[in-house]
Amino acid sequence: MTGAVRSPWWRHAVIYQIYPRSFADSDADGVGDIRGICTRLDYLQALGVDALWLSPIFRSPMCDAGYDICDYLDVDPLFGSLDDLDSLIDQAHRRGLKIILDFVPNHTSDQHPWFMSSRASRDSDKRDWYIWRDQPNNWRAAIGGGSAWSWDEQSQQYYLHFFLPQQPDLNWQNPQVVAAMHEVLRFWLDRGVDGFRVDVVHCIGKDPHFADDSRCLAGEAMVHINDQPYSHEILRGLRRLVDSYSPGRVLIGEVNIRSTRQVAAYYGASDELHMSFNFPPLDANWDPVIFRLCIREVESELGPLQAWPTWVLSNHDNSRHRTRYGGSELRARAAAVLLLSLRGTPFIYQGEELGLEDVLVDAQTRVDPGGRDGSRAPIPWTLRPPHGWAGGSTWLPFAPQAGASSVQAQSGQAGSVLELYRRLIACRRASLALTTGAWQELPSHPQVLAYRRWCDDDERVVCINFSDTEQVFALSGQWQVQLASDRQGEGCPFTGRLAGEQAVILYRGRHDNELASDHDHLPD
């Protein structure tokens, strides 16, 4: 049996993040919805992705775009109905696409009946479901930057919120909270979902002493530094629950701390998260030194633990990577090669396959209190306005060049970013080396990041030129260019010359099929 057959689906999958309010709209209200997603499954299937992760679609007052949930067991009318979601799960499954929902365990909305009851009286049976104190400590909230504690006039105590005051933190030390949240997971697993992306999962365990944290004095928010042993116990409980269902259900954690070693601990002994997001590349600029360090760290920290890595360049909380890389399409194209050829599961954020940039939002149009609207603009489906979004206006304006970057403009266009993503995903899918194969860095070059991927006799070399000038990166043996980010040289022998900001995937030339040794790729 091959590695790909033996390994669980998520190890060789490409996962696509859908931000539902900006993906596709079926009812012309300018906000995307679940039926809209259903109308675009052909597109996603043609792109070649394996699973769709949906940012929250649950009932919510939308203070934090749905990450403030007031009913975990229902769909917000803005996005449709439970029937619509059942239908999406069904239609996706018929096409072989998995569905991953966003599970938000750290906090609810302040409009959730649990919190309404909790704040109503100190004697409420839900009082201890949240974290109440007479005195706040110095912890800081992530959105708005103020205190992580808010005063509740009615019950005369402070409650804790790592995010907005409208997002009170649950108390996972209370077994009733654990049981209630397990019920939430069961509800969705019973409906057939294939797993969960678990929001800020490292935050659920809190320092039992509620001690001041000196890092908060320096301006950091608790969300980026909180890391408690207790979180692991909670995670093992979640994992046991998920594993009690049919195999293949997956837990992907948002462990939003910057130490790869700490993040690695959230995989447990294969009894916590199946995968965790890896944040450093999401913050990184277009710099070979930074990327080399990120990749080495992932390989050295996760590799020995058999913990499977993830790679992500953009999401709904951060600037799109093309914008971060100075707007350059060439860089965005080379980055796509990197994303889809590293060892680990790649996550594509909707619209990056179109090469979208951030939208600039002025003070009047601003929606997100956290200032993250830039990467949340609607997907342009058609060339002409309103770009496949019937009706007056969309909830956020389109990103620049919406027509030219639309799906309609790029589909079937050989040189487009969209076609590059399709070809890369297909190339990855067809190669065990690129999916589950081993990874090894090739000798260092100041501007070129190069690595080898292999599995049995399937072997690829990937070279990425981070500079905007031609670089020479000679390899021993004969190599053919299978795919190039700018299409130059595809199908030809690799000459060792890489154009500025060009990335290539190489395979062994036909007359050079001996197995590679560890040191036969020597750059000039």
What is the bridge-based pairing of β-strands 195-198 and 98-103? parallel
Does position 53 interact with ligand GLC (CB under 6 A)? The reply is no
Q: Kindly state the smallest distance separating residue 345's Cβ from ligand GLC, in Å.
A: 18
CA distance 72 to 188: 10
CB of 68 to ligand GLC, least distance (A): 7
Asked if residue 133 lies in contact with residue 151, where contact means CB atoms within 8 angstroms, the answer is: no
Torsion 310-314-317-318 (CA) sign: positive
Rounded Cα distance between 203 and 266, Å, is 12
Residue 67 or residue 389: which is nearer to ligand GLC going by CB?
67
Beta strands 503-508 and 58-59 are unpaired
The rounded radius of gyration (Å) of the Cα atoms in the chain is 23
> Is 254 known to be catalytic?
yes
95: left (phi over 0), alpha (psi -120 to 50) or beta: alpha
Question: What is the closest distance, in whole angstroms, from the C-beta atom of residue 427 to ligand GLC in the complex?
Answer: 30
Residue pair 22/350 in contact (Cβ under 8 Å)? The answer is: yes
How would you list the strands of the sheet with 98-103, edge to edge? 275-276, 250-253, 195-198, 98-103, 51-54, 15-18, 345-349, 310-312
Using CB atoms, what's the residue nearest to ligand GLC? 67
Q: Is 25 a catalytic residue?
A: no
Shortest reach from residue 160's CB to ligand GLC, in Å: 14
Query: For the chain, how far is it from start to end, CA to CA, in angstroms?
Result: 38
Helix axes 229-243, 175-190, angle to 10 degrees: 30
Looking at 110, 199, 353, 373, which residue is catalytic?
Answer: 199
Binding mask 92-131 for ligand GLC (x = CB under 6 A): ------------x---------------------------
Task: Compute how many residues bind ligand GLC; rule: CB under 6 A.
Answer: 10
DSSP run (H or E) holding 150: strand 149-152
Q: What's the CA gap between 309 and 369, in Å, rounded?
A: 31
Q: How far is the CB of 180 from ligand GLC (least distance, A)?
A: 18
Structure tokens at 102: 């966003």
- Please name the residue ranges forming H helices in 82-227: 82-94, 113-120, 175-190, 214-217, 222-225
Q: Which of 379, 386, 383 is closest to 409 using CA atoms?
A: 383
Is residue 141 involved in binding ligand GLC (CB under 6 A)?
no
**Among 50, 64, 301, 353, which residue sits at the site for ligand GLC (rule: CB under 6 A)?**
64
Nearest residue (CB) to ligand GLC, 199 versus 299: 199
What is the token pair recorded at 127? 């009082």
From 50, 254, 301, 358, active-site residue: 254
163 lies in the site for ligand GLC, by CB under 6 A: yes
CB of 397 to ligand GLC, least distance (A): 20
Distance, in Å, from the CA atom of 201 to the CA atom of 90, rounded to the nearest integer, reads: 28
Single residue of 200, 396, 449, 463 touching ligand GLC by CB under 6 A: 200
Tell me the per-residue interface mask from 297 to 336 with ligand GLC, x by CB under 6 A, - otherwise. -------------------xx-------------------
Measured from the CB atom, the residue of 257 and 295 that comes closer to ligand GLC is 257
CB-wise, 277 or 473, nearer to ligand GLC?
A: 277
Which CB atom, from 320 or from 331, has the smaller least distance to ligand GLC? 320
**HSE of 249, CA atoms in CB hemisphere, 13 A:** 23
Which residues lie closer than 8 Å to 524 by C-beta, 6 or more apart? Answer: 472, 473, 474, 496
Instruction: Report, in Å, the least distance between residue 250 CB and ligand GLC.
Output: 18
Report the C-alpha gap between 28 and 51 in whole angstroms.
26
Write down the least CB distance from residue 199 to ligand GLC, Å: 5
Q: What single letter denotes the amino acid at residue 395?
A: W
Q: Which of 50, 84, 199, 501 binds ligand GLC (CB under 6 A)?
A: 199
Name the site residues for ligand GLC (rule: CB under 6 A).
64, 67, 104, 163, 199-200, 254, 256, 316-317
- The catalytic residues are 199, 254
